[in-house]
Structure 1
Amino acid sequence: MIPALAPLFIDDFAHYRDVLVLQDDPRPSLPLRRLLAPDTFDAVLTRFAVQYPDSDRRGVASVWSKHYFIKLIPPVVAASLILNHRLPLRAEQLHVMLDAQGMPLGFKLPDPGQHWAPVPIHAFQRFDELIEGHLRSLIDTVATLTRLSPRVLWSNAGNYFEWLLGVLASAVPQADLRHGHDLLNAPEREHGQRNPLYQPVRYIEVAGQATLKRQRRVCCVRYRVGGLSRCDNCPLPDRRVRPGRDG
C-alpha cells in the first residue's frame, strides 16, 4: 500500500488497499509495455479466455479490460479528487500484476506520487496522465491486437469512472467532484480534440419505473462471451444474440 493513500481504504473501499503499490511489493509483475507486446498480450488473453470457451476474442478482450479498469480507475480517481494526490501513471513507468488466469490484480508505481501543487485548473489537466499517459496507449494497443473497437474500450473505462463519481458523492458528500463531472460532460478536450470519455452513461425513463435507468451509451459486447448474460445497463434492444456472431 502507498501510505499517502491510506485514508481512502476504509469500509467498502478497503479491498483496494493492495492494488496500487510500489516496486518493492514482492508479488510478480511485468512492465505494462511488455504486457502490451503482441506475443505477451496474446498469451495473457488466451490464458484468461480459458474460463470462457467458445467465445469471440473481442468479447473476451472487453471483459478483460473491464477487470483492468475496475482495478485502476477507482483508486486513481479517488486519490486525485478526494486526497488531491497525483500519481505517476504513464504506461512506460508501470508494472502490472496478474493472477494465474491473466486477471489484472494491481499496479506497481515507480514512486508514491505527490500532492497536487498547484491544484489543476481544469479536468483534462488533472486527469491527463491517466487518460493520455496510460489509457490511450493501453486502449489503442488492445484494440489493434484484438480488432475490438476502441469505442468499446473507452466506454468500459468511462462506465467505471461515472459509477465511481456516484459512489464518492454518497460516501463523501462534501467532496469537490466537479473535475470528474467536467471530464465526462465535455465533448471535446481543451484544444478541440474529441473527448473519448464523453458521456459514457445516460439515464433514461422506463415505463412503469419510478427511477431512471442507468444505461451505457456503447455496448461492451459481453454478449459475445459464452456463459455470460448481458449487463443490466446494456443499451442493446432486448433480443438474443449468440456469442461469436455479429449482431
Structure 2
Amino acid sequence: MASAQHHIADPDQPASVLSPAFAGEHAWCSEKMALSADLPDGVPLPLFFGNGGFEQAIERYATACGDSDRRAVVSMWSLYYFSALSIPYVLARRLAAQELPVAFDQMTIALHDNGLPRAFGVPHRGRNAQGGEEDGFEAIGPLLEEHLHEAVRKLAACGVSAKLCWNNAAVYLDYVLRLTRPPEGPDLTVFVRGCLPDGGVNPLCGSLRYVEEDGERVARRKICCLRYMLPGVQSCGKLCALPSQRNMQ
C-alpha cells in the first residue's frame, strides 16, 4: 500500500472533484469519474459484468438503437466506456501528476437510463505519479495492465472481437495523449511498438496510424467500430477504417 504522503489531497478542491485536472475545459471529467462514495448508484464492475448487469445494459441500449446489429451495439457501448475511463485517467496523470486507482476489480460503474455508461467510481484519489514518460507507455501503464485487459476480455465475451475493442480504446488514448503532450512524429510509440515495456505483446500496436489526406494529417483506425450499422449515429469521418463511410453524415 502506498505511504500516506503519496496520496493526493488538495484542500482547495471541492470534495466532489476527484482530480485538480478536472477543471476549466476539462471540468466535464468530474461527471465521468468520481470517488465511489460520491456515486451512490454505482455497481462494482466485477458484479456488473458477472451478474447480468452488462447484458441488461446492452439490452436497454439495443432497444434504444432499434434492435440493431448486436455487434455494433456492443461496440458503440464500449466507445462510451473507454472514453469515460481513459480520458479522465490520462488527464489526471499528465496534468496533475496523479495516478488514479483504476484497477478493474476496485471500481464501480453507473449507467444512463438507456444503458450507456454514465460514470465510473474509484476507491480513493490515488497517489502522486512519477514523471518522465516520453512515449506514452508510462502514462497509460496502470490503466492498460490493471483495467483494459480485463475490460476487453469481458466485452469480447459478448460477441465482438478483442481487436475491435482494443481499437475502440486506442482512439481515446491517442486523443488524450496528443491533447496533453503532442509528439513530433506522426505515430505515437504505443501504437507502433509491438512489445510493451515489460516484454509482453502490445495489444494497441497497429490499431491506429496517421496518414496524409488532402494536405491534412489525419488519424485512421485499423478496424471499423461498426457505428454505421446504428441509426442516427454520425460517421466518425476520416478516422473510419472503411473508405465508403468516411464522408457519410
Instruction: Calculate the TM-score normalised by the size of structure 2.
Output: 0.81
Gaps of 5+ in 2: 1-14
2:17 and 2:34 in contact (8 A); partners too: no
1:97 and 1:106 in contact (8 A); partners too: yes
Post-superposition offset of 1:203: 2.1
Q: Distance in 1 between matches of 2:166 and 2:74?
A: 13
Post-superposition offset of 1:15: 0.9
Alignment correspondent of 1:226: 231
Alignment correspondent of 1:158: 170
1:36 and 1:138 in contact (8 A); partners too: no
Post-superposition offset of 1:177: 11
Q: Which stretch shifts more, 161-170 or 107-116?
A: 161-170
1:162 and 1:200 in contact (8 A); partners too: no
Matched, 1:43 2:62: no
1:2 and 1:112 in contact (8 A); partners too: no
Q: Distance in 1 between matches of 2:221 and 2:77?
A: 18
Q: Distance in 1 between matches of 2:232 and 2:134?
A: 45
- SS of residue paired to 1:43: helix
Post-superposition offset of 1:196: 1.0
Matched, 1:5 2:11: no
Q: Distance in 1 between matches of 2:149 and 2:85?
A: 14
Gaps of 5+ in 1: 171-175, 241-247
Matched, 1:236 2:242: yes
- SS of residue paired to 1:238: helix
Q: Distance in 2 between matches of 1:65 and 1:216?
A: 15
Post-superposition offset of 1:121: 9.4
**Residue correspondence of structure 1 range 76-91 to structure 2 within 5 A:** 76-91=89-104
1:23 and 1:108 in contact (8 A); partners too: yes
2:109 and 2:121 in contact (8 A); partners too: yes
Post-superposition offset of 1:187: 1.6
Aligned residue pair count = 230
Post-superposition offset of 1:39: 2.2
2:228 and 2:245 in contact (8 A); partners too: no
**Residue correspondence of structure 1 range 57-206 to structure 2 within 5 A:** 57-117=70-130, 124=137, 126-144=139-157, 146-169=158-181, 181-206=188-213
Post-superposition offset of 1:129: 2.4
Q: Distance in 2 between matches of 1:200 and 1:184?
A: 6
| Aligned-pair identity (%) | 27
Instruction: Calculate the TM-score normalised by the size of structure 1.
Output: 0.82
- SS of residue paired to 2:104: coil
2:18 and 2:30 in contact (8 A); partners too: no
Matched, 1:34 2:47: yes
List 4+ stretches of structure 1 deviating above 6 A.
118-122
**Residue correspondence of structure 1 range 6-25 to structure 2 within 5 A:** 6=20, 8-25=21-38
- SS of residue paired to 2:209: strand
- SS of residue paired to 1:28: coil
